[in-house]
């Protein structure tokens, strides 16, 4: 080659020899090899499985999409379930608190009812005891009154016997002394009785006359 250009005997460079042409031809060969390999893989896949590779790929993509969707649904379901569990726990907690409050209120009311019933029974028992004591006191009073009446009756009977004996003695003494005896009223009034003191005074007067 001379300074002014290539010599007449030198061959002109071909497009394949230049770097630019090499860079263009290399990707084309790779694409062709990749296409051949894909066709070979497709053929082997169809021979092995009996399915169209495009249909199988579409089915696989669909399955993966379904799985991804299922996972999303599962995640959403789990999240919703978690929220429901939290709500359920809160509701159960509120229900337990309400039930506990109701149980405490019921226990308080029951305790008040028991206290009121106990106080009522105590009051009734006190009234019964008071009535029993009053009844016993009344019975004792009646017994004492009856005993006093019986004692007075015995004393009155004894005094009547003494008066009768004194009358007989007085009559005998008056008769022996020749003093006339004044007869008693044969028909005394039913409700009028001579007192023992009057009888004793009369007997005393009779005794003085005898002396």
pLDDT digits (tens, 9 = 90+) for 54-99: 677 777 777 777 777 666 777 777 788 888 888 888 888 888 888 8
Reported residue count of the chain is 211
Asked if residue 148 belongs to a domain, the reply is yes
Domain contains 206: no
Contacts of 125 (CB under 8 A, 6+ apart): none
Q: Give the structural domain span for 87.
A: 26-157
pLDDT of residue 123: 93
Distance in angstroms (rounded) separating the CA atoms of residues 161 and 155: 10
Contact criterion met (CB below 8 Å) for 14 and 6: no
Whether 90 maps to a domain, the answer reads yes
Whether pLDDT at 129 is above 60:
yes
Tell me if 211 is assigned to some domain.
no
DSSP state of 121: H
Residue 58 to residue 144: CA distance in whole angstroms:
123
Percent of the chain with pLDDT over 90: 18
Instruction: Say what the pLDDT of residue 3 is.
Output: 45
Note whether residue 181 is domain-resident: no
Summarize the confidence of residues 175-194 as an average pLDDT.
58
Which position has the higher pLDDT, 173 or 122? 122
More confident residue, 61 or 22: 61
How many structural domains is the chain composed of? 1
Q: What is the mean pLDDT of residues 170-180?
A: 78
Note the pLDDT tens digit of each residue in 146-158.
999 999 989 999 8
Residue 199 pLDDT level (bands cut at 50, 70, 90): low
Count of CA atoms in the C-beta half-sphere (13 A) of 68: 5
pTM: 0.32
Residue 16 has pLDDT above 50, yes or no: no
Rounded distance between C-alpha atoms, residue 4 and residue 13, angstroms:
17
How many helices, marked H, and strands, marked E, lie in the chain?
A: 3, 0
Residue 48 inside a domain? The answer is: yes
Asked whether residue 209 is domain-assigned, the answer is: no
CB burial readout 125-142, b (16+ within 10 A) else e: eeeeeeeeeeeeeeeeee
Give the C-alpha separation, 91 to 101, whole Å: 15
19 lies in a domain?
no
Residue 126 confidence class, pLDDT cut points 50, 70, 90: very high
pLDDT at 7 over 50: no
Higher-pLDDT residue of 46 and 145 is 145
Query: In the predicted model, what is the mean pLDDT of residues 100-107?
Result: 86
């Amino acid at each position: 080659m001379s300074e002014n250009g290539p010599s007449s005997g030198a061959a002109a460079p071909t497009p394949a020899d230049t770097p630019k042409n090499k860079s263009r031809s290399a990707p084309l060969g790779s694409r062709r090899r990749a296409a051949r390999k894909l066709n070979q893989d497709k053929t082997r896949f169809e021979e092995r499985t009996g399915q169209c590779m495009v249909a199988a790929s579409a089915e696989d993509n669909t399955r993966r999409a379904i799985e991804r969707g299922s996972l999303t649904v599962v995640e959403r379901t789990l999240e919703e379930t978690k929220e429901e569990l939290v709500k359920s726990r809160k509701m159960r907690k509120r229900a337990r608190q309400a039930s506990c409050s109701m149980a405490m209120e019921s226990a308080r009311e029951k305790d008040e009812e028991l206290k009121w019933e106990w106080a009522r029974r105590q009051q009734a028992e006190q009234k019964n005891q008071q009535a029993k004591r009053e009844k016993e006191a009344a019975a004792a009073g009646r017994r004492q009154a009856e005993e006093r009446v019986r004692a007075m009756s015995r004393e009155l009977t004894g005094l009547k016997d003494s008066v009768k004996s004194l009358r007989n003695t007085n009559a005998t003494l008056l008769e022996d002394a020749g003093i006339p005896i004044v007869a008693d009223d044969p028909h005394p009034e039913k409700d009028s009785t001579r007192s023992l003191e009057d009888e004793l005074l009369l007997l005393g007067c009779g005794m003085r006359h005898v002396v």
